[in-house]
Each structure stands twice: as structure tokens, then as C-alpha cells.
Amino acid sequence: MSQTGTLMGFVHRRRRGAELFLLVLALAVGIGAYAAVGLGVEGVVPADLVGYGSWLTALIVAAHITVRIVAPYADPVLLPLVAALNGLGLAVIRRLDLTYEALGQSDTFARQQLTWMTLGVILFIVTLVLLRDHRVLQRFTYTAGLLGILLLILPFLPVIGREINGARIWINVAGFSFQPGEVAKVLLVIAFAGYLVLHRDALALAGRRVVFIDLPRGRDLGPILAMFGVSMMILVLQNDLGSSLLFFGLFLTMLYVATERPGWLVVGGLLFGAGALAAYTFVGNVQNRFNFWLHPMDYYDASPGSYQLVEALFGQGWGGLIGRGFGNGFPERVPFAYSDFIVSTIGEELGLTAIMAIILCYGLIVERALRIALISRDGFGKLLAVGLGAIVALQVFVVIGGVTGLIPLTGLTTPFLSYGGSSLVANWVIVALLLRVSDQARRPAPRLDPVDEAGSDSESTQVVKLR
């Protein structure tokens, strides 16, 4: 073996060892938090700790083994990060379950979330096993886009469409509720990436120059106007501000990365401003959320009001820097503390330090996605990684920003932490796609060496073949 091959093998073994250490640390976070919940709320170690810990370990180990077999060069940090976030989310949801049970409610959100995590890991494994080359997805650019739009339309259907908490973003089939928009966001990233790879040269052409910024040509505005229309449709018809912001911001981010033209950001910013003003003027739900954000205490006792936001802010303020500890807070005072407002629960009982650590974990996920995009060898892989990372970044920003009062509330779930099967399963698939692109990008390129052709006795008859 050559000296270069020996060095690469050593680096590869060191990376695998670091990943194993990070996985053990991630499992310690999840299982340790679960034990801390039992001790803090009930005063004893949970009776099902061994069974729960074994199941969680089995899921993560199965995911790790699959990655090592079918994607051995994939990024070693992504899986430990999502395992730690998912484990912590399960523990926090279990803490709320115990309080709800004491209040006479029989909901077992943690058990359901563990079931959804199991399904998510299964789809994670299936995605990695069946999808051996991410470039295959480029063939389904328009199919993925059409399916994504159809999924967004499903909640409008009269039989299966459901409106929950004022937003019509759910469908109900055979007694199971599901958010098709969570699957649509993955399909739309694939569609955007495939479309932009084919048309980025035309979209990058400069039009009129205004104040040192090259604005796009009028004939090229079609894609962004179409996405603006889709976003406004989601906002007005589904009453879902969060998904509207997510889809438009996602497309605008990928468009800017593909073309490197600041003019698209200017056009997108103007469209966003116009849409926000129109929504505030004509959509009552958006106007309420802006008012609750600007003057939360004025609407504390109103209906609809800002009770949820104010209680979340009170809880986070009471938690302080290091929190009150599991069982010593009152996160149940916040409606939907297990889903939209799980960050406020963490802030109250684990403190600002825990929230900062969680934001750091999300930042690392986004950083790894962008790093994958930088080293990817094909344009489709670059845009796919950017789009998947942008999904996580946008969701975390609007969710944590809304819960902490930085921006108006939008109603999205916190990836891997919040209760919600649709979101959790989709996010596990997102990680699988990132790992597949990463494996392709990190895999050493095959070396070409000159060798003597059989029967040849001169250097001039040498041919090059793959080693």
C-alpha cells in the first residue's frame, strides 16, 4: 500500500472512532435526560429506563451500522447531532406526559413520538440503502415538483382535509393525522435543485443595474413569482404563516446560491415586504400575530390572545441561566408545550444554557450541510445540500425566534425536538439525503495509473486503466 493510502486509512479510522465517541455521548444525553426526568418529577429512576434505553440505543446503532456499510465516507457528525436532539426531545415530552397524567389527562405523547422516531429511522435506513447515488434524483425534477404541489393541495380536499388550531395543513386518513407539507418540503428541494441546475445560467444573466445591483431580467422573473404565488396561497388559504415563510425563503436561498446574483435577494425582499404588508392588511390571523408580538401584555386575556406567548416568556425568564431542573417548573401552563413551544419548556427547566447548546447543535447541522455543498463534485448535489440545510436553518430561526419574542409566532415545529410524527419522519429523511451527498463528495476519486498493456514492450503502447 502506498504512503498516501496508508495516511488516508489512518484518517478514516480516526474519523470512525470520533463518530463512535460522539454517538455514545448523544445516547448519554438522551438516556440521561430520561432518567433525570424520572428523578426530578417522581423522585425515582423510571422503571422502564432499561427498556427505553435499549430501544433508543438499538435505533441509533442500526442507523450507524447502515451508514458505515452503505455510506462509509459520509459525514461523521450529523448522526450524533440528530440523535442527541431527538433523545432530548423525547425526554422533555416524557416530562410533560407525567404532568399531564397527574392532571388527569391520558395522552402519552412520548410513546407516540418514540414510535414515530422508529419509523423515521426505518425510512432513514431505506433511503440510504435504496438511494446509492443522489444524482438519480435529478431525473425526477418535475415529478418531485408536481408531487410537492399536490401534497400542498391535499388539505383543501373536503373529505380528508382537516383544520386544526386555525390552520388547514392536515389530512386525516384511516384515523391518522398527517401534515403533507412536511413531505412536500423535501420534494420541493429536489425539484428546486434540479430546475436551478438546468436554468441557472439564464437566471444569472443580469438585467438593469440599479444602485450597484444587477437586477434580473423581467423575462426570468417567472420562477420567483410562481413561488411567491404558492407561498401566498398557503398563507391565505391554509392560514399557515410558518410554511409560507419556509417555502419562499427556501427557494430564494437556493436561487441566490445557484446564481450568485444579489439582485434576486432584492427582488425577493421586495416581494416578501409586499406580501407581508398585504397579509397584515387582509389576513386577520397574521394581523393578530403581529399585534401579539408587538404588545403581548395588552392581549394576555383576549381571545384569541397572547396568553401562550406571555406564559412562555415568563417561564424562560424564571428559568434563568441554568434552569429550575426537571419537575421544578410549570411548563404545562403553556398550551402545546410539547410541540410548538417545547423550547420554552427547555428554557424554563434547563435554562438559557441548554437553549444555547441546542442552537449550537442546529448551527453545526447547518454548517455540515454547507460544508457538504462546498465539497460536492456536482451542481445538483451542491444545491440539494444547500436546500436541505436551509430547511433546518429557516425552521429553527422562525420557531426559536417566535418563542423568544424575536419575531412573530409562525407555528412551525422545532426539528427533532418537538412532538410531531410528520416533521420527525421528514427530518430523518433529510439527514439520510445529506449523508448520501456527503458520502459521494468525500469518497476518494479513483486513481488513474499508467500500466503496461499485455503484450507490449514499449512505453509508447501504455494505456491508462482504473486501479
Is residue 407 assigned to a domain? Answer: no
Q: Compute the distance between CA of residue 245 and CA of residue 117 in angstroms, rounded to an integer.
A: 26
467 inside domain: no
Query: How many CA atoms lie within 13 Å of 431's alpha carbon, on the beta-carbon side?
Result: 30
* Helix, strand or coil, per DSSP, at residue 462: coil
Q: Dig out the grid coordinates for 271 from the structure.
A: 416581494
**One domain, residues 54 and 71:** yes
- The answer to whether residue 257 is domain-embedded is yes
Q: According to the model, what pLDDT value does residue 163 have? A: 73
pLDDT digits (tens, 9 = 90+) for 31-85: 999 999 999 998 999 999 999 999 999 999 999 999 999 999 999 999 999 999 9
CA-CA-CA-CA torsion sign (258, 263, 265, 271): negative
Integer distance in angstroms from the first to the last C-alpha of the chain?
13
Q: Report whether pLDDT(446) > 80.
A: no
> Domain limits at 308?
1-130+296-376+415-443
| Look-up of cell digits 388559504 | 237
| 29 and 77 belong to one structural domain | yes
Q: At what angle do helices 379-403 and 421-442 cross, to 10 degrees?
A: 140
pLDDT at 423 over 50: yes
- Top-confidence residue, 264 or 207: 264
With a cut of 70, say whether residue 353 has pLDDT above it: yes
Q: Is residue 323 part of a domain?
A: yes
Q: How far is CA 394 from CA 12, 139, 291, 412, 413, in A?
A: 33, 27, 22, 10, 11
Q: Under DSSP, is residue 112 helix (H, G, I), strand (E, B) or coil? A: helix
Question: Which pLDDT score, from 0 to 100, does residue 207 have?
Answer: 61
Confidence bin at 124 (pLDDT 50/70/90): very high
The stretch 280-306 carries a mean pLDDT of: 86
169, part of any domain: yes
> What's the rounded mean pLDDT across residues 110-129?
95
Partners of 210 in the β-ladder: 213
**What is the pTM for the complete model shown?**
0.89
Report the percentage of the chain scoring pLDDT > 70.
85
Q: How many domains does the chain have?
A: 2
Instruction: Say what the pLDDT of residue 9 is.
Output: 53
Q: What integer pLDDT is reported at residue 14 of this predicted model? A: 66
Q: What is the pLDDT of residues 179-234, one digit of tens each?
A: 888 898 999 999 999 988 888 877 776 666 655 566 666 566 677 777 777 777 77
**Residues 241 and 349 both lie in one domain:** no
Cβ–Cβ under 8 Å, residues 224 and 267: yes
> In the structure grid, which three cell numbers stand for residue 356, read together?
444555547
Helices of type H across 283-341: 284-294, 307-319
Alpha-carbon torsion angle 143, 147, 149, 155, nearest 10: 170
Return the higher-pLDDT residue of 127 and 455: 127
What pLDDT does 96 receive?
A: 94
414 Ramachandran zone, left/alpha/beta (phi>0; psi -120 to 50): beta
